[in-house]
Amino acid sequence: MAAIAAPGVDYVSQAVGKARRQRGMTILIVVVMFAISAFFLLPFAWMLTASVRTEGSLLADPATLWPTVFTLDNYAEIWRRIPFGRQLVNTVFFAGAVTVISVTLNSMAGYALARFDFPGKNVAFLVLILTLMVPIEVTFVPLYNIISNFGWIDTYQGLIVPRMASAFGIFLMRQFFIALPKDLEDAARIDGASEIRIFLRIMWPLAKPAVLTLGMFSLLRNWNDLLWPLMVITQQDMLTLPPGLAMFKGDNLTEFGLLMAGSVVALIPMVVAFLFVQRSFIEGVATTGMK
């Protein structure tokens, strides 16, 4: 404030100094962030190098990230050592089916909780919130019993059916639908549109960002899951990739190259899917935290 009254102050050099400090700060942050990013990306970089190196070269020179030997043998071999192709198909089918079905069922339930008035609504919502808090591990033992009573061990339905709806998904969709203006469907109702039609034609298209976020969450969770397939599946032929590779690791404690080649192939689809939707997905995740 005092500066305004003092004519001697050199505003230009002050501003230049400030801009220079700002630029110095930006450069510093960029350098630090590159170092941090390197740490976050290191396992992926290492996976790639290890997958194109031979066992001998890896053990002889473990410190380098740059492969001194280059071979694609690991990528050819992994298909022969475990039913990799079959496990890849299993993973695609399991994660794909669960995602399509669960997004549909969760958004229907979330929509009803957000947009309809009906007896039992508050109780239903309260139960939903409580379900969110329960660590899922607690249900494992009885879940295993149900699946085996149904004769669903080592089947796709055993993997898929229990995952067709989730409290998290319903909650996410409810939070989205409840924020939409009420007049939308009232207008359609007065025009005599059926509830199904209102949902499919008006509300569902509006929910696209939420559907995308939830769909991506579901795809990631199921594609990446380790414990769930490990419980329901006992045959190698029916496993998905993460547990399939984990079992390969257990039997072959030193074949790093093969294991990493399999890992790279298993990770690529999700990384590509994520890169495609990253902007809207990250935005979707950011808004879930603000509720």
Sites for other proteins among residues 59-88 (CB under 8 A):
59, 62-65
Among 3, 19, 72, 271, binds other proteins (CB under 8 A): 271
Among 37, 68, 157, 252, binds other proteins (CB under 8 A): 37
- Smallest gap from Cβ 176 to other proteins, in A, equals 14
Among 79, 184, 249, 280, binds other proteins (CB under 8 A): 249
Q: Which is nearer to other proteins, 9 or 146 (CB)?
A: 146
Cα angle 238, 149, 129; round to 5: 85
Count, residues near other proteins per rule CB under 8 A: 100
Residues within window 1-30 making contact with other proteins, judged by CB under 8 A: 26, 29-30
Q: How many CB atoms lie within 10 A of CB 258?
A: 24
The DSSP line for the chain is -HHHH-TT--HHHHHHHHHHHHHHHHHHHHHHHHHHHHHHHHHHHHHHHHHTS-HHHHHH-TT-SS-SS---HHHHHHHHHS-HHHHHHHHHHHHHHHHHHHHHHHHHHHHHHHH---TTHHHHHHHHHHHHHS-GGGGHHHHHHHHHHTT-TTSHHHHHGGGS--HHHHHHHHHHHHTS-THHHHHHHHTT--HHHHIIIIIHHHTHHHHHHHHHHHHHHHHH-SHHHHHH--SGGG--HHHHHHHHHHH-TT-HHHHHHHHHHHHHHHHHHHHHHHHHHHHHHHHHTT-
Q: Which is nearer to other proteins, 86 or 188 (CB)?
A: 188
Residues within window 176-235 making contact with other proteins, judged by CB under 8 A: 186, 189-192, 195, 199, 220, 223-227, 230-231
Q: Which two tokens stand for residue 46?
A: 């290492």
Task: State the Cα–Cα distance between residues 40 and 259, nearest whole angstrom.
Answer: 20
Among 10, 13, 118, 182, binds other proteins (CB under 8 A): 118
Site string for other proteins, 138-177 (x = CB under 8 A): xxxxxxxxx--------------xx-xxxx--x-------
Q: Which is nearer to other proteins, 7 or 62 (CB)?
A: 62
Q: Which is nearer to other proteins, 47 or 178 (CB)?
A: 47
Among 82, 113, 211, 239, binds other proteins (CB under 8 A): 113
- Smallest gap from Cβ 191 to other proteins, in A, equals 7
Show contacts of 131-138: CB within 8 Å, 24+ apart.
131/167, 132/167, 132/168, 132/171
Among 5, 6, 34, 66, binds other proteins (CB under 8 A): 34
Name the one range near other proteins by CB under 8 A: 2-10, 72-80, 111-119, 207-215.
111-119
- Smallest gap from Cβ 24 to other proteins, in A, equals 13
Among 93, 175, 270, 280, binds other proteins (CB under 8 A): 270
Among 15, 72, 134, 179, binds other proteins (CB under 8 A): 134
Decide: is 247 part of the binding site for other proteins (CB under 8 A).
no
